[in-house]
Chains A and B, each alone.
Chain A
Amino acid sequence: MYEGVVQNLIDELGLLPGVGPKSAQRIAFHLLAADPADVKRLAHALLEVKDKVRFCRVCGNVASEEDCRICRDARRDLHVICVVEEPKDVVAIEKTREFRGRYHVLGGAISPIDGVGPDDLRIRELMTRLADGQVTELIIATDPNLEGEATATYLARLVKPMGVRVTRLASGLPVGGDLEYADEVTLGRAFEGRRLLDV
């Protein structure tokens, strides 16, 4: 235990994902020893991100305006939507340069045991986007693990009556992992070899 303000900082850092008590302590002491200007810049970046970044009203991706950069881009194919769990998955797929359509960020995957059901994700928003009949293909790129597969099954069943072609990234992605860890070549190939999801 340290003096009030130092302990406060350690406690706050310890709440971040992937930061255990030891790392929190290490980061706190790094900040204490750092140049005040560097720390100010970090603090400013933290505040600015909460202030200026929001979520795209169309796709749920991070955006600096009402719509994200991808949704505003007129060159993107309006007929294909790729469904992902998190904004970081959009980044991973953009790196492959295989996909020219738009995205839909669900905000997670269906996991009843964690209390997450379909209503807790941006599924209603997705159905609204599909309602005008402009979209012809939905590519489901949820994580290649149990929750991701179950979410894909749920979406395929929901969307099927709308006559939209539903595809899933090819299994070449070893199951069990997180999409963000797939290398660009593997992910690119998974896009090319996507298969029709039949439910």
Chain B
Amino acid sequence: MSLYRDEGVVLRTHKLGEADRIVTILTRRTGKVRAVAKGVRRTTSRFGARLEPFTHVDVQFHTGRTLDVVTQAETLRPYGERLAADYPRYTAGSAMLETADKLTVAEKEPALRHFLLLVGGLRALTDGEHEPRLVLDAYFLRSLAVAGYAPALETCARCSAEPVRAFAIVAGGVVCGDCRPAGASVPAAETVALMLALLRGDWASADASQARHRTECSGLVAAYLQWHLEHGIRSLRHVERV
């Protein structure tokens, strides 16, 4: 019998049997863990809402033969409560959880940067200081960067030349006139600047951006993300703009 303890964010849950759930938690030290939470669907469960998606929990696991078992859970931050009361933020948050789940492919492989990024993203989403879709796009760009897929946004993705003319997903970001493949889109310079601001965390510039550049930015980021993630992000089509 071996117990271990960690903190993490509940990414998703699946019903198991009569009243149990399998919970997927992205933890700080252990990486992604799938574990059984027994009796959690009964309204008398001692776990209550602590093992609902979005909750940042301090959790104790018991190592099992196939799946680990959650033996204790204490809420650190109940992000889900705030998100469930605000539909656009709920949909943006759902897309974050799904992305974190898909970018951390292997279980129990430490993924500290993904964990920190997710906690930061959920905090920004619940703080309500920035438009939820901007927070989501910043999260997408940075988690792609952590995964090694940061888009080139300043110099040509192929030859590093300047100035750049277009944005090509297949090339990995902005491209110069010579390297531009057929079918590359030509976004506004302000849109590319917004993407760069989101990637760097320059919120003053991002918050000052115009609606049409935000829309164009979201479109490019979404297409770029779907290209790099084999099965795509299902939640994305349900994300609402405020």
Contact = CB atoms under 8 A, between A and B. Distances in A.
Interface of A: 17-18, 20, 110-115, 117-118, 144-146, 149-150, 153-154, 157, 173-179, 181-183, 186, 199
A125 B91 CA distance: 23
B85 A146 contact: no
Given A112-B91, A176-B51, A146 B235 contact: no
Contacts of B97: 113
- 8 A-B pairs with least C-beta separation: A177-B43, A112-B235, A149-B84, A112-B94, A175-B49, A112-B238, A117-B238, A176-B49
Nearest to B52: A146
A163 B84 CA distance: 23
B40 interface: yes
A145 B52 contact: yes
B84 A113 contact: no
B53 A149 contact: no
A178 B235 contact: no
Contact of A182 (B43, B91, B237): B43
A114 B234 contact: yes
Residue from A112, A145, A149 with most neighbouring chain B CB atoms (10 Å): A112
B115 interface: no
Given A153-B84, A176-B51, A181 B42 contact: yes
B140 interface: no
Contacts of B45: 174, 176-177
Most B C-beta atoms less than 10 A away, residue of A113, A149, A179: A113
Interface stretch (B12-20, B120-128, B178-186, B199-207): B12-20
21 contacts: A18-B15, A18-B17, A110-B238, A113-B235, A114-B234, A145-B49, A145-B52, A146-B83, A149-B84, A153-B85, A153-B90, A154-B87, A174-B49, A175-B49, A176-B40, A176-B43, A176-B49, A177-B44, A178-B19, A186-B43, A199-B85
A183 B90 CA distance: 29
B28 interface: no
B68 interface: no
A114 B14 CA distance: 10
B238 A20 contact: no
B80 interface: yes
Nearest to B17: A18
Given A173-B43, A176-B47, A150 B19 contact: no
